[in-house]
Amino acid sequence: MEGSFQLLASLVCVILMGSFVRTKSDTTRNLLNTELHSAPAQRWSMKVPAEVSAAAGEAAVLPCTFTHPHRHYDGPLTAIWRAGEPYTGPQVFRCAAARSSELCQTALSLHGRFRLLGNPRRNDLSLRVERLALADDGRYFCRVEFAGDAHDRYESRHGVRLRVTAAPRIVNISVLPGPAHTFHALCTAEGEPPPALAWSGPALGNGSAAVPSPGQDHGHQVTAELPALAHDGRYTCAASNSLGRAEASVYLFRFHGASGASAIALPLGALGLKVLLLLGVLAAGAAARRRLEYPVTQNASPRPQAQESNYENLSQVSPQGPPAAVCSP
């Protein structure tokens, strides 16, 4: 009886172990299948930073990397960069690589300042921009195109913002006439961040606030007006932002009419000049008549003449009035 009980217990243990082994084996197989099926399929994507900042005159790198759904691709491809808008913005760079070639030959580089820094075969479209200018400020979009059997293309939708910074620079300063013999001054400066403008001059003090001209601001340029110039002298426009300061000056000199004794002396002087000219003409006429009345005969012996100089210094300095406005940037 005891032997029968031990045999029954052994059979139960074997059955339980077999069930445990099968369960473990099935669980492992299910886990492996789950990992294979749950692995995400590769698809199109592009990775770019939100913003890149650099100073005017320097260089900037616009990073761009991508993924694609093909396990391996070595066919022809084209790398493109646009400015302003995705899909429709003007191209600033384009290069093409032949089948199985890692060299992407440049077909377009705006002003010769855009150069591919990455390798499209390695999913890198990074671009380098040389000699930055304020006009380069804006948003840029990278794009890749596959040809042949794949015939796929993909472009970043949001792009990367290139922010170009610059210290202020005075672009133009001038004095312009207005109605009723008045004058006003204009000053235009550019920079990033946009500079603040201030005027100073006669009866204005230092740092007098400028009046912005409506409709005169364009991008990184700012224009300010000094409406009425009441005094002659030097007027200075100063532009400043977080990166520096610049200033330029303009001079105003108006012609003031004579009054009192000066006003009387001017017409009298003109009249006296006319009288002198008339007397000179009369004297010359009398001398001519005298030569006609007493001609010189051929037999008359020549009289000794005093030696005369053949050079006269007739240079005179003509007075000129000062100009209405003189600029000195």
> What pLDDT is recorded for position 227?
87
Positive or negative, the Cα torsion across 145, 146, 152, 154?
negative
Give tens-digit pLDDT for 34-50: 323 334 457 899 999 99
Buried b / exposed e along 193-228 (16+ C-beta atoms within 10 A): ebbbbbbbbeebeeebebeebeeeeeebbbbbbbee
Buried b / exposed e along 74-99 (16+ C-beta atoms within 10 A): eebbbbbbbbeebeebebbbbbbbee
Query: CA angle at residue 185 from 180 to 191, to 5 degrees?
Result: 160
Contact 51, 160 (CB under 8 A): yes
Q: Kindly report the backbone phi and psi dihedral angles of residue 256, in degrees, each rounded to the nearest multiple of 5, phi listed first.
A: -105, 125
> What pLDDT is recorded for position 13?
43
Rounded Cα–Cα distance for residues 222 and 194 (Å): 7
Give tens-digit pLDDT for 264-323: 444 444 455 565 667 776 777 776 666 655 554 444 444 444 433 333 333 333 444 444
> What pLDDT is recorded for position 274?
60
> What pLDDT is recorded for position 128?
98
β-pairing, 160-177 vs 51-55, is: parallel
3-class secondary-structure state, position 243 = coil
Is the omega angle on the peptide bond into residue 168 within 30 degrees of 0, that is, cis?
no
> What pLDDT is recorded for position 72?
85
Tally of CB atoms within 10 A around 114? 23
Rounded Cα–Cα distance for residues 192 and 165 (Å): 5
**What is the pTM for the complete model shown?**
0.62
Write out residues in the chain with pLDDT < 50, as ranges. Answer: 1, 5, 7-9, 11-40, 215, 258-270, 296-329
- Please state, rounded to an integer, the average pLDDT across all residues of the chain: 75
